[in-house]
Amino acid sequence: MATEAEEAQRDALAERLFGAALGAYELMTVHLGDRLGYYRALSEDGEVTSAELAAATGTDERYAREWLEQQAVAGIIEVDDVEAAAEERRYTLPAGHAEALVDRDSLAHVTPMARYGVSFAQTIPAVEEAFRTGGGVGWEEFGRLGRESQGDVNRPIFSNLLGSEWLPSIEDVHERLQTDPPARVADVACGAGWSSIAIARAYPKVTVEGLDLDEESVALARQNLAGTGVADRVSFEARDAGDPELAGSYQLVTVFEALHDMSRPVEVLRALRGLVAEDGAVVVMDERVADTFTAPGDEIERIMYTYSVLCCLPVGRSERPSAATGTVMRTDTLRSYATDAGFSEVEVLPIEHDVFRLYRLR
Ligand SMILES: C[S@@+](CC[C@H](N)C(=O)[O-])C[C@H]1O[C@@H](n2cnc3c(N)ncnc32)[C@H](O)[C@@H]1O
């Protein structure tokens, strides 16, 4: 028979996971609102009825009505008169919520996380299989949703912080990026390309070459580049960063949130060492995880482990041999990779961010 303490423990967990389930399901409805253009229409059109929302987005009125009611019940949107007939109720999206839901450059933008959740859910059967066989799940299996959510999750960080705060805080790099002859930047594992675009925007002289193993990501990056005003100085190419044939001499080599995903991080770092010019720098951004394993962990540790189980570890193991790093790449792990690749120092840069830590490798 369960003791009182065990019953309390049971109830606390059941309650917590009920809240988690509610959050997960609501997140999927946020994803629908994002994909169907509902939030955008609400933010542009002001007060709408279900028929007006359906007409503005080319969707079905009955479904739009159910979604509006669900979002109002969830407290994401507001309804003018709960007692009005269902078809006559008018719904609005509060301005603060609109920023979080539709402004792709806001640091509060959250819809990409919903998209990521859906992409993880779609890939679960392959991950389950990998758990049984010890195999992996390629990044390409996370599909367009995975690529787009990854790109959009980091886009506000790159467009708001990278060029205006983070790189300027590394004095010699900041100076070199502004002087002649124009600096060359290699943005390794550039994904959707937003970091490359942000660097080119911040430093009008530099040229940025983004490379990524995944051809579809390169295609997305090229698409994202169009109309940014820096297309003449940014290029994207599908390349393996671990390729020993990689050549060039760059004043800045960057790897943003990607080293832990790589099957062969040491080979990649060795190749990057060969790319950096004498007056250049290698800067790595990865997760701000704790220095040692602690359980239970804080929210950052918890979310990083979910990413690891659902995505990054299976991705890293999709090629063999694999370092099988996972999302939780601690500073000491990076140090050992960098040492094996021939670097003599890993400096933790004094840049404050809740999620990311930046390193300079020498
Ligand atoms: C989590 S995404 C990060 C993308 C981007 N840097 C960002 O911050 O949004 C990891 C990226 O690493 C790329 N990648 C993994 N191994 C690679 C390798 N050996 N060479 C080049 N790119 C690689 C993947 O294709 C993927 O686009």
Whether residue 87 contacts residue 49, with contact meaning beta carbons closer than 8 Å, is answered with yes
139-169 pLDDT, tens digit each: 999 999 999 999 999 999 999 999 999 999 9
pLDDT for the residue numbered 295? 98
Q: CB of 228 within 8 A of CB of 203?
A: no
Residue tagged 């090629």 (tokens) = 319
Ligand 1 touching residue 150 (CB < 6 A): yes
> Could you tell me if 199 and 174 are in contact, meaning their C-beta atoms sit under 8 angstroms apart?
no
Ligand 1 binding pocket includes 256 (Cβ within 6 Å): yes
Say yes or no to pLDDT of 203 above 90. Answer: yes
Q: Is the pTM of this model over 0.75?
A: yes
Instruction: Give me the pLDDT at residue 186, please.
Output: 97
Residue ID of nearest Cα to ligand 1 atom 17: 213
What is the bridge-based pairing of β-strands 91-92 and 78-79? Answer: antiparallel
Q: In this predicted model, what pLDDT tens digit does every residue of 278-328 receive, in sequence order?
A: 989 999 999 999 999 999 999 999 999 999 999 999 999 999 999 999 999
pLDDT tens-digit map of 91-137: 999 999 999 999 999 999 999 999 999 999 999 999 999 999 999 99
236, 211 contact by CB (below 8 A): yes
Cα–Cα distances (Å) from 116 to 48, 127, 224, 239, in that order, read 28, 15, 19, 25
For 72, the enclosing helix (H) or strand (E) is helix 61-73
Contacts of 298 (CB under 8 A, 6+ apart): 290
**Is any atom of ligand 1 closer than 6 Å to the C-beta of 191?**
yes
Ligand 1 atom at shortest distance from the alpha carbon of 258: 10
pLDDT in tens, 245-267: 888 899 999 999 999 999 999 99
